[in-house]
Structure 1
Amino acid sequence: MNDSRTLADRIEDLLPQTQCTKCGYDGCRPYAEAVAAGTASYNQCPPGGAEGVARLAGLLGKPVIPINPVNGVERPRPVAFIDESLCIGCTLCMQACPVDAIVGAPKQMHTVVTALCTGCDLCVPPCPVDCIAMIPVTGNATGWDAWTQQQADAARVRHDRRLARLAGERDAAVARAAARRAAAAEATTAAAAGQAAGSAAAAQSASPPTADDAEAKKKAIIQAALERARRKKAEMAERGEGPLNTDNVSADVQSQIDAAETRRRRMGIDENAKDPGSTPPADQDDDTPT
């Protein structure tokens, strides 16, 4: 049967999956891809030790060479230990652990699940109170003698699950941010629409009066004049006075009075009513204003 796995896949299978980054890459998979591409050497994994180099050399058909000291040295496998009396619950170690082997909560004491710890050391540098120590737990056994294939496989699964979880959290954060931006944009659009509507209403209210408006204004002015004339006539009647210009009215003046009366009736203005547009009773004569 043909093996469909890539060279990077086969290299990754031979790595201890501690995800310690001592090889210079972000994890075992990126290192495997670099070795397969020829951009990294096969002797850069201290947790795998000499046996790890021999495994990779056999796969690649290359000679066995020592571990590159720049990347570290082969050593007994350590496990992280948190001094709980000093822990301040900052969660930085939890964020650094590549296999989720540290449990706790913000501002609460943290602890390491010893069976899950790969001894990667990544939790030590970010601790602000230096409460984490790496304690060797395998005696004189180093490299693959201090680490089993079953442990490597389990660590690989936990690391992959963690990467998937972090990716999901990032996607959710991006979605929330996009939703907030969309809501803000919608609110801005609604506000702009409201301002535009207000401006349109203001422009409409400030538009020149129509013919109907002018006619209504004219009627109001005439009606106000009639009201003044009625009040003046009522005051004169109380004093026993009457109009002084009703006798010997010339034909021209009478013609003007008649024309004004006609216009007043045509416009629907009643001298004896307060509301413009009303008509006088049929059996009552209109008084002509003087």
Structure 2
Amino acid sequence: MLPNSPVRRLVAQRVAQGILLLFAVSVLIFGGTQILPGDVAQSILGQSATPEALANLRQELGLNDPAYLRYFHWLGGILTGHLGTALTTRQEITATLMPRLWNTLFLAFWAAVVSVPLAIILGLLAVRYRNGPLDKAISGFALASTSLPEFFLGYLLILFFAVKLQWFPSISTVYHGLPFVERLKAIVLPATALVFVVLAHMMRMTRAAILNVMQSAYIETAELKGLSALDIVRKHALPNAIAPIINVVVLNLAYLVVGVVVIEVIFVYPGMGQYLVDHVVKRDVPVVQAVGLIFAAVYIGLNIVADVAAILANPRLRHPK
């Protein structure tokens, strides 16, 4: 149960806004795939296809129907759990997509397990030793990590740890039935690249949020009581800075799931990103639409979680006068 009426109202508003936004995104995804250049039927049958064969395939795929009818037919399938049929393989998209989604979530989960606690710890250390050598070293690392694009980090990891040291494989091959330890070994490099991508942002936001709270009057009171700097940060500053920290952590978790496309392509990881790129090349529109909508749903859903967490972490909303 949510604590009170204002909180329930705000949470309901965020959820309703998220649903409306997802509907709008579905329209954009469908419309964007429809205006892509080229002919889907021609792409499937090849350049040697006869006009009769092309016409028959367009009729079979429903390409001759008005766009709005095709959209509502697609949306109705989505609402009933049917993502459509892949044009290139004629297989149900749901059946082929779910293992890929699981692989992406597995990779994102382990990247988050490492990056989230590490970012908070580094942020706390930077505040504890503010303007000191450790703070400057952490800030310098964060700046360097933010400046390097993720594909460059991925290739650097492959060069040093896969090619030169040969500690980990350069191609992250995972499949059903692979032992858990082997699966973890296969994702070490792509997960490390993702950790570098999101770690700096979370750490810098943690540091900024806590430093903002450290200027409050109750922090001065705690200092006058003789509490150590670590206790002040841990017991007073961190709990009151938790809302923006939760926001940035959840948004980076959304990026871990949605922004893995480049990393998965570099490491040939069989996840959603690699699946999307493969079918963009083949111009398999139903697959592109399904993957795009799932990415949008995950991102919007985690944004809603971040908003709700920030609302629940606000004592002025939880205990109104």
Q: TM-score, normalised by structure 1?
A: 0.20
TM-score by length of 2: 0.18
More strand by share: 1
Q: Is the helix fraction higher in 1 or 2?
A: 2
